[in-house]
Structures are given as C-alpha cells and as structure tokens.
Amino acid sequence: MGTPYPNPISPSQTRIGWIGIGVMGAAMASRILSAGYSLTIYARTPSKAHPLQSQGAQLADSPFQLAQLSDVVFTMVGHPSDVRSNVLDPETGLLWGLRPNSVSVDMTSSDPALAREIFNAARAKDCWTVDAPVSGGDIGAREGKLAILAGGDASVVEWLAPLFDVLGKVTYVGPAGSGQNCKIANQIVVGGNLLGLSEGLVFAQRAGLDVRQFMEAVRGGAAGSMVMELFGERIIGRDFRPGGFAEYMVKDLGMGVDVVEENEEGRVAVLPGAALCKQLFSAMVANGDGKLGGQGLITVIERLNGK
C-alpha cells in the first residue's frame, strides 16, 4: 500500500477539507485559511459557514463531496456518533470519497475503539487516518497554541507537521486510538483541576479573601496550573462562555470511567476522582448549563453551598 509521500504538504499543493465549525473548529479552520491553504468546508447548517466563506473557504454539499475535493480532511465535531456519521456513513461518509493516500484527521474528543475502527477501514481503502484530539480551549484554538495528541502511523503524523504547526504543538503518542486515550487522560486531569480551582475560589470568598488577590498569591506555587491561567479570571468575572461545552466533559470523562468491557490489556482503571468530576459536570447539565464552558463548574459548588 502507498503512503502520502514524496509530495510534501504546502499551501500551493495541498487541498484541505474541514468538517466542524463550532467555537473551536471555526477558529482552527480560520488559521488554516490564514496560512494560505485552500479550504473546503462542510456544515450541517450552511449559514454558519458564512464567516469562513468570507475568508475564501468553499462549501461542499456532503462529507463525501468534501473528501473528493481534498488531500487532507479534518473533523472537529461534538460526539463519537457525529464522527461515525461524518466518516463512515455508507452513503455520505467522507471515507468513501477519499482518494488513495489521502488522510483523514479526527480532532474530536472521541472513542479510542472508534478511532481504531476508522483507521482499519481507511487502510483497507489505501488511505490513512490520524486521531488527534486537542487541549487548550478556544484561546488555544485562536492563538494556534493547542496541544495536539496524535495517534496513528508515526510517519503520517510527521508528514502532517506543517498543518499541525499552524494549530499548535503536536506530540505523537502511539498507534491508532492512542490520541483519544491521551485526551481522556488529559480530561481527567483538567476536570480535577477545575474542581480544585472552583472549590478554592468558593472557600477563599467565604473566608473573606479578595479572590483575585488569592489567585495572584498562589498561582506561582504548587497550586498554579494552566487551568488557572486559562480559566481563573473567567471564573471570577462570571464569564462562562464555552471554549468546550460542559456536556463534553461528561462525555470525555465517561469514556474513562463508564467502562463496560475490558480494554486491550485486560485492565480497567478505577478512577474515583474522575467519577466524582463526571457527576459534578453532569449536575451542570441537569441544571440546564450543559452549553456553558467547563469553567462553569463553580456554579455547582456554589449551589451546594447555598448560593
């Protein structure tokens, strides 16, 4: 079977397709356009594509048509079910429109088993896939500072480096599905940090401290974190606009803790902290706040304290 070589990726030769133009996807696609690449997009709601079209993007009628017009296709959608329908649908899925040696890159936080299924289906068609979910939120997406967690064939990830460099910093973490497993572990850490930050701020306020002064005092010590830098001021300012929806945290943490069958190594991780975080983010959803950003977790802690 062939590989994408020897043709290097370049704005003048490589045609890019993009599916998923939500808060983060639109910012990432905009960066690809700004880097000089030709971009074709697919949107279930075409009117949402107007800002990118004004930057020069073309609009496709289906994932299948988009794949026919692209050398590399990125997906950045909401749920594993969205990934499956956009990639594997037997009538409109992008996989069936890819030409040999083309590459599909899924940047959605999705299911590791699905990533492996898609990889195997692509190789059967002499194509390639990479699972490359990201961390860094909407700020990282806009500024091109995302952490990109890539699984698949190492040489294909290396070949894609010029595109990943536009979006952030890529780390190859292993074979197909490894990127998704890395993102689940990432979300376990992020969820725990958001919970600790939320409880720390609620406690500081109840104790009569100036919460901004509190945060400034501790950010340079062991309590400091990227979560604090990204979301601390937002939380204090009651800015709960989403970089990623709280309901997505429920999904991501659920893929780590709601294990219904053993993984390939025959081991299931016991994750009590992640399970508690999932329940608290689920409380956000139950309170009608699932479309807020994950930093809105503090509202659950506040409700538990009678606010």
Which one from 125, 145, 183, 291 is the annotated catalytic residue? 183
| Kind and range of the H or E run holding 75 | strand 72-75
The verdict on whether 307 is a catalytic residue reads no
In the numeric block, the tokens 């975080």 are attached to 277
C-alpha pair distances (Å), 46 with each of 21, 28, 41, 87: 10, 18, 9, 19
Residue 210 three-state SS: coil
User: What tokens were used for 149?
Assistant: 């967690």
| Kind and range of the H or E run holding 131 | strand 128-131
What is the distance between the terminal CA atoms of the chain, rounded to a whole angstrom? 61
Distance CA 206, CA 209 (A): 8
Distance CA 258, CA 252 (A): 10
Distance CA 124, CA 222 (A): 49
Distance CA 188, CA 202 (A): 21
DSSP type of residue 98:
P
Distance CA 13, CA 8 (A): 8
In the numeric block, the tokens 């030769």 are attached to 13
- List, by residue number, the catalytic residues: 183
